[in-house]
Structure 1
Amino acid sequence: MNYIVLDLEWNQCPTGKSNEITNLPFEIIEIGAVKLNDALQETDQFREIVKPQVYKKLHFRTKEIVSLRSIDFESARYFPEIITDFLAWCGDQPAFCTWGPADLMELQRNLAYHKIPSPFPFPFLYYDIQKIFSIVYEDRKTRRSLEYAIDFLKFPKDIAFHSALSDALYTSLIMQHLTPKQIAENSSVDYYRTPARRRQEIHLTYSTYVKYVSKPFESKSQAMKDRIVSATTCYLCQKNVPKKMRWFPIGSNNYCALAFCPVHGYLKSKIRMRQNKDEKYYAIKTTKLISEEDAFAIREKRKIQKVKKKLHKQI
């Protein structure tokens, strides 16, 4: 198996969002990648500038971030030709690694715009090294910049950031400071393509939690009424368990519930609602075991929420 550490640079509509192509908000202008073997040793590199076909002038923010200039694109090839060579370079069944989830999302958008069939499996699992860095070194929630992580690990900064290949090289350095086990146990789900029907729904088990991705629904309320979406299940004994606190909203798109398994204890379930490309809603549900103290904190948070809601109604 090869790890493909990928980084992309992209451009956007130079005349503003109102003039952008709806299904191509960002056009890829540079592809950089590093190939690692099973032992996380570098075996090859890929880098190519992509000649823009949609947004032919650079947006002012793109100019501020990347080092590319108009002259760099004069002899460049177009995306369809380059991506064919890149995917061939990746080899069979590559494991993609990125710093954050955005690169793979934009890669698939660019493929779709150019009517190039997706080469990726469904579900598409990859390794978000930004997330794994947080899991291994910080609090699992904070998402740091690539430069922060390089400084944290005290690596030399001898090449400039915001070049596709240099950022891929920096990401590969961070990977080499992790173990294959730390990487393998923390895969992420790409949400460019989501389940279209019940039998495509995604169920994943990790070391400390489980994840479920639902089929689409017309509304958030319809999704929350679905028996599988709303179920609270102990993932250790594979049984539905009673809720101690029913689903309650946290903001406009998130929901939380507290359940109790008589064998394994308290479980916290969280649902994030998102919209797919057809603007229908799907649920991403995670469930994990928590301590009695954490369960108490959730109860208190809900009490405060109810008081605030009551006071707001009285105003």
Structure 2
Amino acid sequence: MKNFIVFDLEWNQNPGGKEASVERLPFEIFEIGAVKLNEEREKVAEFHRIIRPCVYRQMHRIISEVTHVSIEELERDGEPFAAVMEDFLKWCGEDCIFCTWGSMDLTELQRNMVYHGMTIPFPKPFLFYDVQKLYSLCYQDGKARISLDEAVESFALDVDAPFHRALGDAEYTGRVLQTMDFDSVKDYVSVDYYLPPESEDEEFTLQFPEYTKFVSRMFETKEEAMEEKRVTDIICTKCRRMLRKKIRWFSSGQRYYLCLATCPEHGMMKGKIRMKKSEDGRVFAVKTVKPVDEEGAEAVFLKKEEARIRRAEKSRQKKLHGVE
């Protein structure tokens, strides 16, 4: 039986700002809270622990104001991170799927584990449910993101614990998951990108109702990634045939590429590649392909024309200033 582990983290950061942070640990977790739901999304257990800080020994002012946690409380009640994590993973069990509000918690959890010398036991690809995204898919446009307290208010759920504390936020996220029309959006799993594919064998494609997502292995540069056929091929989301491109891949901003292809049976398909950076500075591609109507295709044409104009203006400015 698969359980849902709905969890939340609270973390601290250097009070002196990003420049003074420890590069490998910009956010240090000091609290973890979770609720376990069974397959029927009924609550069956909860987990809550405080973690003793070892990197940032002073609370960031804003974090202290939001969470009402003091460094003295963490020093007094906290336990070592590794010990808490071992207990948490044992409590979760092997057959579970993680659920969070937003997409940051799993990444920061793994970053803290690596900093403390722990082995990451999670599968690749590491799939989870972003309840914030699911809420938007159910009740908004799929792109908007609202806060957890707004979602709780929209369902008129009981508010019997403070927000911005790990167990309370995990509890509220679980209640939203219980209340929403989960069955209508359960196919929309999210991917955690902390550990991208290392090899071609680890690359994967996810099939969603309206689109596909391909995640590549890591490359040294985005130019190298764009030379890889598996990255640039466009395959119909419905019949899985290789498509001929009507508009070849072009750069739309520093990290995005777009293209347009046509399936003789299912019409036009828009391709979008987003380049992401891995922890070691390499890059990997996340490619989505989805059907588009004439309006969507026209938007790609306009983006290409805008990119052409920008390149022409950049070239003109270089010549004007004598830059080769």
In the superposition, the TM-score normalised over structure 2's length comes to 0.92
Match of 1:44 in 2: 45
The 1:249/1:148 distance shift into structure 2, 3 A limit, reads farther
TM-aligned CA deviation for residue 15 of structure 1: 3.1
State how far apart, in whole Å, the 1-side matches of 2:158 and 2:182 are.
23
TM-aligned CA deviation for residue 84 of structure 1: 1.1
AA partner of residue 186 (structure 1)? Y
Match of 1:77 in 2: 79
Match of 2:155 in 1: 153
State how far apart, in whole Å, the 2-side matches of 1:65 and 1:203 are.
39
State how far apart, in whole Å, the 2-side matches of 1:59 and 1:202 are.
39
Match of 2:201 in 1: 199
Q: Note the aligned Cα RMSD (angstroms).
A: 1.6
State how far apart, in whole Å, the 2-side matches of 1:227 and 1:305 are.
23
2:281 is the counterpart of 1:279: yes
State how far apart, in whole Å, the 1-side matches of 2:110 and 2:185 are.
23
Unaligned runs of at least 5 residues, structure 2 = 318-324
Q: Which moved more, 1:51-60 or 1:151-160?
A: 151-160
2:218 aligns to what SS in structure 1?
coil
Contact in 2 for aligned 1:127/1:183 (Cα 8 Å): no
Match of 1:18 in 2: 19
AA partner of residue 25 (structure 2)? L
Contact in 2 for aligned 1:39/1:180 (Cα 8 Å): no
2:9 is the counterpart of 1:8: yes
Q: Which moved more, 1:244-253 or 1:260-269?
A: 244-253
Contact in 2 for aligned 1:269/1:286 (Cα 8 Å): yes
The 1:136/1:180 distance shift into structure 2, 3 A limit, reads closer
Match of 2:219 in 1: 217
Match of 1:306 among 305, 308, 312: 308
2:88 is the counterpart of 1:89: no
State how far apart, in whole Å, the 2-side matches of 1:306 and 1:174 are.
45
The 1:308/1:192 distance shift into structure 2, 3 A limit, reads closer
Contact in 1 for aligned 2:3/2:37 (Cα 8 Å): yes
State how far apart, in whole Å, the 2-side matches of 1:216 and 1:176 are.
37
1:215 aligns to what SS in structure 2?
strand
Give the 5 Å matches for 1:18-167. Answer: 18-73=19-74, 74-167=76-169
AA partner of residue 118 (structure 2)? I
Contact in 1 for aligned 2:127/2:190 (Cα 8 Å): yes
Query: What do the CA deviations read for 1:252-306 (whole angstroms, capped 9, x no partner)?
Result: 1011111100001110111000111121110000111111222123223333443
Q: Which moved more, 1:258-267 or 1:175-184?
A: 175-184
Give the 5 Å matches for 1:222-301. Answer: 222-301=224-303
State how far apart, in whole Å, the 1-side matches of 2:149 and 2:272 are.
31
Using the aligned pairs only, state the percent identity.
41
State how far apart, in whole Å, the 2-side matches of 1:297 and 1:16 are.
40
State how far apart, in whole Å, the 2-side matches of 1:206 and 1:183 are.
10
AA partner of residue 201 (structure 2)? R
State how far apart, in whole Å, the 2-side matches of 1:220 and 1:136 are.
34
State how far apart, in whole Å, the 2-side matches of 1:26 and 1:304 are.
38
TM-aligned CA deviation for residue 195 of structure 1: 0.5
AA partner of residue 136 (structure 1)? C
AA partner of residue 12 (structure 2)? N
Contact in 1 for aligned 2:237/2:291 (Cα 8 Å): no
Contact in 1 for aligned 2:252/2:303 (Cα 8 Å): no
The 1:230/1:113 distance shift into structure 2, 3 A limit, reads same
State how far apart, in whole Å, the 2-side matches of 1:183 and 1:39 are.
15
Tell me the number of residue pairs that the alignment of Structure 1 and Structure 2 aligns: 315
Contact in 2 for aligned 1:241/1:260 (Cα 8 Å): yes
Contact in 2 for aligned 1:3/1:95 (Cα 8 Å): yes
Match of 2:322 in 1: none
The 1:96/1:183 distance shift into structure 2, 3 A limit, reads farther
State how far apart, in whole Å, the 1-side matches of 2:17 and 2:311 are.
39
State how far apart, in whole Å, the 2-side matches of 1:305 and 1:24 are.
37
1:256 aligns to what SS in structure 2?
strand
Unaligned runs of at least 5 residues, structure 1 = none
Q: Which moved more, 1:192-201 or 1:19-28?
A: 19-28
TM-aligned CA deviation for residue 235 of structure 1: 2.5
State how far apart, in whole Å, the 2-side matches of 1:252 and 1:313 are.
17
Q: Which moved more, 1:151-160 or 1:53-62?
A: 151-160
AA partner of residue 48 (structure 2)? R
TM-aligned CA deviation for residue 312 of structure 1: 5.6
